[in-house]
Amino acid sequence: MVMRVLAANKLEYAVGGNDLLLGVEFSLYLGDRVALVGRNGSGKTSLLRILNGELEASRGTINLAPGVQTALLAQEPQYPAGSTLRQVLERGFARLEAMEQELLGLEARLSDPETYSRWDQLHQRFETAGGYTRAARYRSVLKGLAFEGREDHQASELSGGEARRLALGEVLLSGADILLLDEPTNHLDLGMRDWLAGFITNFGGALMLVSHDRGFLDRVVKKVAWLRRGKLLWYQGNYSSFRGQREKQEAQELKDYQAWQKEKERLEAALAEFRRWAASSEKMAARKDAMESRVERFLLEAPPVPVHAEGVVRMRFPADAGPERVLEGVGLEKSLSGRRLFRVESLVVRRGERVAIIGPNGAGKTTLLKVLLGLLPSDDPKGHLRTGTNVRVGYYDQKLSGFDPDTTLYQTLYRILGEKAHAALGAWQFPYLAQFKKISALSGGERARLSLLALSLEEANLLVLDEPTNHLDLEATERLEEALSEYPGTLLLVSHDLYFLNRLATRTWHITDGVFTDYPGTPRAYLERQQSRAAPSLPPRTPSRIPGVKPKEKPKGRWRLEREREALEQEIASLESGLGALRQMVGEAGLGPEEYTRLAGEMEGLEAQLAEKYQRWETLAQELEL
């Protein structure tokens, strides 16, 4: 039986008179992987914080199974001075080590049914939290999040994006039974997102996550929980399955709502008629009273307002198609601290093309955009760039700059649109009162929508968008995708959201290790053509139960085998590291014959030890599979 680790009972929570949670109830079990979706401001982050104990619900309770621990990904992590990356990432090992010591203490009394039950539950949680694979998981996180070789660096000196990635690694290695991940893919490039999806798939605990990356959600989740009007609605399957189910429901909701509206109009017209004749006789007055009661009951039974009638962001980017040749570049090159970011010998961007620019973090994607926009010069003095006649460029900066932080939303738009500012802001889902917030007080999602709104007013026939889906909820991302699909101009898109790019792009530019590649197709088609990346992977999780054998018959032997295998994996990693260092030394120039002979002898000894350890590891693996 799958263990229940959390039960939420009738949760209620409100902010500023806005009810975010209204009697929310659900349970989480080991193995659950849930996507929490909903509009920005619907209460997703608040719910995660309540589950983690950081916020207290105004009503309701959170019940955790005994000993169960949660871990929430911090939005703005802070690290004390002196903490290294290694120390931050290994914090969670203390819990696993404590669980291991308790298991060892219980092991001598397994014949007692109550003791065995405690051992069995603790062992299940120890395994699902990664107790047997902690060393492999640690190495995987270092490599997957690009911290390999930097373990002794100071955590407090990391950039904002790096600090966020370190917080993600800390949560993944926390040993928690329930992971609560709020936008875990932010600041992750394509390779990192691919790695994270694999890592999460191997996690045996419960997971609830918020993400705007639909492709990531499709790979990872098994259920979707939609937070709407304070209620949590549950759907089986991944995000695409959820959208398919919702489309059918929305069609039926709209049909029911339209029928209700039609009946409402008929009843109100009849009531108006009765009221007109009510004074003519007691009989007509009684009919009027009866009709009023009927209308009141009818209004109380109103169906929910359909999603499309609630009001959604209506995005549109009007423009003409522009000239045939939009951009031409020759000898475009840029380096940083002596490291080449890219070299583009020549390129031509033609009218209507939709170019996706992909590559790892720090590869130079944003820098390339700035060179193409003329904001940065090419390092090659012979390099030049030419923009087509009548090309009007609209640039969406991922830093969301260009706005006066001391002005209000309304003041900002009034300077552009005059009295039409209120209507434009309303169409982009800024309520009337919110239109008087200062730019500095806007949330990330509000700033993103404001930037896109301003861009829609420029009538640019070349849109250059740098991470446009960051800070947008899934609904707004889908509206943006629809608007860009209908856009008649030319697009240059930087994004780590493959789902978004594959729906729009017709051409792909890939930048990595100083190499620029131009491919005539979608990013998915391009990546499928490349050799499989040497992504870090976790060893397959070994089942904690032997089919057909009751756990009570052989828990102790299996437990010791698992621990021996874990210790072997650590020894193998240490030997491989030492062997690699020796090989590097042997490869260096200037070694004398004696030094070379000594190093070669040490390498031979390490290789022999490795062969012995590998043979024992394979034997253990076979025994554990029996």
Please, which pLDDT band fits residue 618 given cuts at 50, 70 and 90?
Answer: low
Q: How far apart are the C-alpha atoms of 500 and 465, rounded to whole Å?
A: 12
Residue 100 domain flag: yes
Query: Between these two residues, 390 and 306, which has the higher pLDDT value?
Result: 390
Q: How far apart are the C-alpha atoms of 128 and 174, rounded to whole Å?
A: 12
Query: Between these two residues, 159 and 62, which has the higher pLDDT value?
Result: 62
pLDDT at 256: 85
Q: What is the mean pLDDT of residues 331-347?
A: 92
Both tokens of 259, joined, read 């029928």
Least confident piece of the model among 43-52, 118-127, 432-441: 118-127
Please, which pLDDT band fits residue 542 given cuts at 50, 70 and 90?
Answer: very low
Domain residues for the domain of 161 are 4-237
Would you say 246 and 66 are in contact if contact means Cβ atoms under 8 Å apart?
no
Give the whole-number percent of the chain exceeding pLDDT 70: 88
Half-sphere exposure of residue 281: CA atoms within 13 angstroms, side-chain side: 3
- pLDDT, the chain, mean: 85
Regarding whether 444 and 393 lie in a shared domain, the answer is yes
- Count of structural domains, the chain: 4
CATH number at residue 444: 3.40.50.300
Please, which pLDDT band fits residue 517 given cuts at 50, 70 and 90?
Answer: very high
- Kindly state the helix (H) or strand (E) to which residue 570 belongs, with its residue range: helix 555-587
pLDDT tens column, 208-239: 999 999 999 999 999 999 998 899 999 999 99
pLDDT tens column, 587-601: 554 566 666 667 667
**Amino acid identity, residue 208?**
M
DSSP secondary structure, 473-503, as one string: -HHHHHHHHHHHHH--SEEEEE-S-HHHHHH
Regarding whether 498 and 390 lie in a shared domain, the answer is yes
Q: How far apart are the C-alpha atoms of 57 and 22, rounded to whole Å?
A: 10
Q: Which residues contact 136 (CB under 8 A, 6 or more apart)?
A: 538, 539, 569, 573
Asked whether the predicted pLDDT for residue 431 surpasses 70, the reply is: yes
Helix and strand numbers, DSSP H then E, in the chain: 20, 18
Q: How far apart are the C-alpha atoms of 109 and 118, rounded to whole Å?
A: 11
- Backbone conformation region of residue 175, classed left if phi is above 0, alpha if psi is from -120 to 50, else beta: left
Q: What is the mean pLDDT of residues 523-544?
A: 60
Residue 254 domain flag: no
Asked whether the predicted pLDDT for residue 397 surpasses 80, the reply is: no
Q: How far apart are the C-alpha atoms of 545 and 431, rounded to whole Å?
A: 56
Regarding whether 556 and 522 lie in a shared domain, the answer is no
Q: How far apart are the C-alpha atoms of 567 and 587, rounded to whole Å?
A: 31
Regarding whether 290 and 228 lie in a shared domain, the answer is no
**Amino acid identity, residue 227?**
L
Please, which pLDDT band fits residue 613 given cuts at 50, 70 and 90?
Answer: confident
Q: What is the mean pLDDT of residues 570-577?
A: 73
**The last residue of a domain, from among 310, 345, 374:** 310
Would you say 37 and 14 are in contact if contact means Cβ atoms under 8 Å apart?
no
Q: What is the mean pLDDT of residues 40-63?
A: 93
Residue 170 domain flag: yes
Regarding whether 474 and 582 lie in a shared domain, the answer is no
Q: How far apart are the C-alpha atoms of 50 and 62, rounded to whole Å?
A: 8
Residue 250 domain flag: no
CATH number at residue 597: 1.10.287.380
DSSP secondary structure, 179-201, as one string: EEEESTTTT--HHHHHHHHHHHH
Asked whether the predicted pLDDT for residue 533 surpasses 70, the reply is: no
Regarding whether 178 and 42 lie in a shared domain, the answer is yes
Asked whether the predicted pLDDT for residue 536 surpasses 60, the reply is: no
Would you say 596 and 586 are in contact if contact means Cβ atoms under 8 Å apart?
yes
Residue 244 domain flag: no
Regarding whether 291 and 380 lie in a shared domain, the answer is no
Regarding whether 12 and 110 lie in a shared domain, the answer is yes
Regarding whether 279 and 232 lie in a shared domain, the answer is no
Asked whether the predicted pLDDT for residue 378 surpasses 60, the reply is: yes
Residue 534 domain flag: no
Q: How far apart are the C-alpha atoms of 19 and 42, rounded to whole Å?
A: 9
Regarding whether 223 and 266 lie in a shared domain, the answer is no
Please, which pLDDT band fits residue 206 given cuts at 50, 70 and 90?
Answer: very high
Residue 252 domain flag: no
**The last residue of a domain, from among 278, 310, 342:** 310
Q: What is the mean pLDDT of residues 275-289?
A: 86
For 310-340, b/e burial (b = at least 16 CB within 10 A) is eeebebebebeebbeebbebbbbbbeeeeee
pLDDT at 355: 97
Residue 543 domain flag: no
Asked whether the predicted pLDDT for residue 549 surpasses 60, the reply is: no
Regarding whether 503 and 392 lie in a shared domain, the answer is yes
Query: Between these two residues, 571 and 545, which has the higher pLDDT value?
Result: 571
Q: What is the mean pLDDT of residues 95-106?
A: 85
Regarding whether 65 and 209 lie in a shared domain, the answer is yes
**The last residue of a domain, from among 310, 344, 375:** 310
Q: What is the mean pLDDT of residues 269-287?
A: 87
Tokens 């070994």 map to which residue?
Answer: 542
DSSP secondary structure, 27-88, as one string: EEETT-EEEEE--TTSSHHHHHHHHTTSS--SEEEEEEPTT--EEE--SS----TT-BHHHH
